[in-house]
Amino acid sequence: MSRGSFVTRRLLLGYSAIATFLVPGSLGSALARSTPRARPRPEPVLPPRRVMLDPGHGGKDPGAIGYAGSYEKHIALAAALELMRQLEGSGRYRVALTRGRDVFIPLDGRVAQAEARRADLFISMHADAVPNHKVRGASVYTLSADASDPQTAALARRENSADIYGGPAFRGQSPEVAQILASLVRQETRAGSVRLARSVVSSLGRDVPLLVNPSRHAAFVVLKAIDIPSVLVEMGFMSNPQDEADLRQGDHRTRIAAAMKRAVDRYFESAGSLLHIAG
């Protein structure tokens, strides 16, 4: 480097230092202030998700009767009310119940309520009973034409007290087009139901005992909503003394509800990620 270049560079540095000292705010700061900064985009405010909770049985239908005489219909309603409290408490959901008291509602009427309210999810809550009192643990069921195992087939027969509900008709379409559209919607609904079931099983497994092979499927009438991902959760076995005793306790039902809320949160978070990727 030549002496002239060195002097020029030193003079420039000196002038810069003097300017910084004498003038409020350096030239760099002024340039930085004059450069428009990209404002972060506000996060979109999503409307609350609509969740329909279905306490099983009710009224003249007690459901399973426990080892010590508890009624499934009471256990199911108490657990659904607790889950409703937790979901609504988060501010992220609007929750409705197919029944909020001890009344009988036909299975197709439960599905119709979910359809009428345009629910994003449908969760039916139950507690099973079987002749073997040693069988215990929670399980989750999705809709399928065929049962995953004989025990689930028997459960579906017990739960189904009405004809299989076929879902709303596609008005204004030919029968052939309506059948194709219904098939496509059912495939998407089935995928969502399976994703929700996996999430519920994973969450429940952290807090309560699970039945062997806890993710199962059969032709449950109450899961027949054509366009609403739906699961049926058996929270335990009323025929097992320990399961029944646990389900009678409010703190146990609170743990079940907390696990199911985590599953619902995870379901919608994953659904949002899938939509983002697709977009």
Residue at 167: amino acid letter: G
Is pLDDT at 93 greater than 80 in this prediction? yes
CA distances from 169 to 107, 115, 181, 226, 227 (A): 18, 12, 10, 10, 11
Structure confidence at residue 30 (pLDDT): 52
Q: Is the pTM of this model over 0.85?
A: no
Tell me what the pLDDT averaged over the chain comes to: 80
Q: Which of 93, 211, 223, 207 is nearest to 167 (CA)?
A: 223
Structure confidence at residue 34 (pLDDT): 55
What is the percentage of the chain residues whose pLDDT exceeds 90? 57
| Higher local confidence (pLDDT), 25 or 83 | 83
Instruction: Please list, in sequence order, all residues whose beta carbon lies within 8 angstroms of the beta carbon of residue 111, skipping any fewer than 6 positions away.
Output: 122, 165, 221, 222, 224, 225
What tokens does 71 get?
Answer: 């009624």
Mean pLDDT of 65-72: 95
Mean pLDDT of 248-254: 97
Could you report the per-residue pLDDT of 112-135, keeping only the tens digit for each? Answer: 999 999 999 999 999 999 999 999
**Would the CA dihedral through 55, 240, 131, 205 be positive or negative?**
positive
| Structural domains of the chain, with CATH | 49-278 (3.40.630.40)
Could you report the per-residue pLDDT of 173-204, keeping only the tens digit for each? Answer: 444 444 444 444 467 788 899 999 999 999 99
What b/e readout covers 56-87, taking b as 16+ CB neighbours within 10 angstroms?
bbbeeeebbebbeebbbbbbbbbbbbbbbebb
